[in-house]
Structures are given as structure tokens and as C-alpha cells.
């Protein structure tokens, strides 16, 4: 039996994954979590073969969840399944301990291959991602400015680009407004962008928000 912990805040997506995965893993067992809190609770209740994690979760983003899951349950393989393009988030996820990154528009066969690779202890990367990783290692290609952002700064950037105020972001991320303002200033300095309009445009161009 292959056990899957599926973390996605859309019930229809979770059900769809059940159907897709059962085509390749007929004895599959599923645990569904619609939030980071539910995911952490389920992760500790039993031993899962793999966790499939979406990055866009309500209340807490998938990046911070991935980081905590790998810290608390380092033996649990995590495969990120996201609508965000891999060129913008895959490397960041791998650095946080993910075993692979698959976009939601991937073919079912590719998802099955990624799951098998991950469960067997390997890392799943597409040819395009492998090329990007090779370029980063060889320093043959420039690194986008947002790659220098910390995970928390990336969270704040996404919130700003989604039109939320500092007060709303503070509530969403459980931070003080002053702390959020500090992160906002760091982002502006690193990206060399001052206004929220420009930050939003940057995030849209680089597909950092949906």
C-alpha cells in the first residue's frame, strides 16, 4: 500500500488527485489536509510514504509548511505540486528539502513518475529544471533578483502583490505591522523597486502570484 498525504486547500483538486494517483497506485491510501495546521497534525499521526504539497494555501503558504515539515519530519519525502511555474519556485523548494517539483498542468504519467522517484529516495527534476540547476552551479546564468529574497520576504512580496495592506499582511502572517514594514523595505532594497505598483508588476511578470 502507498500512503499519500495531500495538502491542498481545494477539495476538488484533492479528489482529482485521488483519481489520478489510483490509476498508477491501485492500493493507494489518502490523508487530506486543507491547511498547514491540518497537514502538520496528520503528518504526526502516522507514517506516510509521501506528502504532496501545494504552495498556495490559505492562512499560511506552502513554503513555510514545507520548511517545517522537513524540520519536524525529515524522513517524510515531500513533492511540491503547484500552479506556479517551476522556473520561479522549484529551486527554492528544493533548497527547503523538497524531493521534487511538479506543476499542476503536468500529465498524469509525469506525476506518477515523480511520485515513484520521490518514494524511492530520489529527486525528481524535469529536464528544464536540471538545466537551470546546472546553470546556477556553473554561474553561467544570471540569478533573478527575487532569488535573493528570504522565504518570509517572498511571502510578504506575494501578499503586497495581491493588494493587501500592511495591516492585513500582519494578521495573515501573524507578525506586527512594524515587522511587515521592515520586510517590505528589505524587498524594495533588494529588488530596487520602491512603489507597490512596481512590486506588483514585478511579481506578475515573474509569475510569483496567481
- Residue-level pLDDT at 10: 93
- Cell numbers linked to 112: 506518477
Q: How much is the pLDDT for 131?
A: 65
Torsion, CA 199, CA 81, CA 95, CA 143, rounded to 10: -40
With a cut of 50, list the residues of the chain below it in pLDDT.
140
Q: Please indicate, yes or no, whether residues 125 and 95 belong to a single structural domain of this protein.
A: yes
Average pLDDT of the chain, as a whole number: 87
Do 130 and 173 fall within a single domain? no
Per-residue model confidence (pLDDT) at position 19? 95
Same domain (yes/no): 150, 116: no
Q: What are phi and psi of 74, to 5 degrees?
A: -60, -25
Both 22 and 92 in one domain: the answer is: yes
Q: How many domains is the chain built from?
A: 2
149 lies in the same domain as 130: no
| Whether residues 81 and 96 fall in one domain | yes
- Tell me the residue ranges of DSSP E strands in the chain: 3-7, 29-33, 50-53, 78-82, 100-103
- Dihedral angle at the C-alpha atoms of 36, 158, 209, 146, nearest 10 degrees? -110
Is 110 part of a structural domain of the chain?
yes
Burial annotation 93-104 (CB, 10 A radius, 16+ → b, else e): bbebebbbbbbe
- Residue 50: which of 119, 151, 126 has the closest Cα? 119
Whole domain around residue 188: which residue ranges?
145-205
| pLDDT of amino acid 50 | 97
pLDDT recorded at residue 201: 86
Q: Domain of 81: which CATH number?
A: 3.40.50.2300
- The CATH number of the domain where 200 resides is what? 1.10.10.10
- At residue 140, the pLDDT reads 47
Tell me how long the chain is: 210
Helix (H) or strand (E) holding 201: helix 196-205
What is the grid cell recorded at 48?
506516510
Amino acid at each position: 500500500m502507498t500512503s499519500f498525504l495531500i495538502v491542498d486547500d481545494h477539495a476538488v483538486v484533492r479528489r482529482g488527485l485521488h483519481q489520478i494517483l489510483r490509476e498508477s497506485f491501485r492500493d493507494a491510501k489518502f490523508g487530506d489536509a486543507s491547511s498547514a495546521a491540518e497537514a502538520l497534525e496528520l503528518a504526526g499521526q502516522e507514517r506516510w510514504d509521501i506528502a504532496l504539497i501545494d504552495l498556495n494555501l490559505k492562512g499560511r503558504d506552502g513554503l513555510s509548511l514545507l520548511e517545517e515539515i522537513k524540520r519536524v519530519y525529515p524522513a517524510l519525502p515531500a513533492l511540491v505540486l503547484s500552479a506556479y511555474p517551476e522556473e520561479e519556485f522549484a529551486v527554492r523548494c528544493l533548497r527547503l528539502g523538497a524531493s521534487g517539483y511538479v506543476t499542476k498542468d503536468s500529465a498524469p504519467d509525469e506525476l506518477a513518475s515523480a511520485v515513484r522517484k520521490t518514494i524511492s529516495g530520489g529527486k525528481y527534476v524535469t529536464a528544464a529544471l536540471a538545466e537551470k540547476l546546472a546553470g546556477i552551479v556553473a554561474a553561467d546564468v544570471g540569478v533573478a533578483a527575487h532569488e535573493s529574497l528570504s522565504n518570509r520576504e517572498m511571502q510578504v512580496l506575494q501578499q503586497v502583490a495581491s493588494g493587501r495592506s500592511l495591516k492585513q499582511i500582519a494578521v495573515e502572517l501573524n507578525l506586527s505591522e512594524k515587522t511587515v514594514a521592515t520586510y517590505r523595505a528589505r524587498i524594495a532594497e533588494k529588488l530596487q523597486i520602491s512603489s507597490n505598483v512596481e512590486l506588483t508588476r514585478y511579481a506578475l511578470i515573474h509569475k510569483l502570484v496567481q
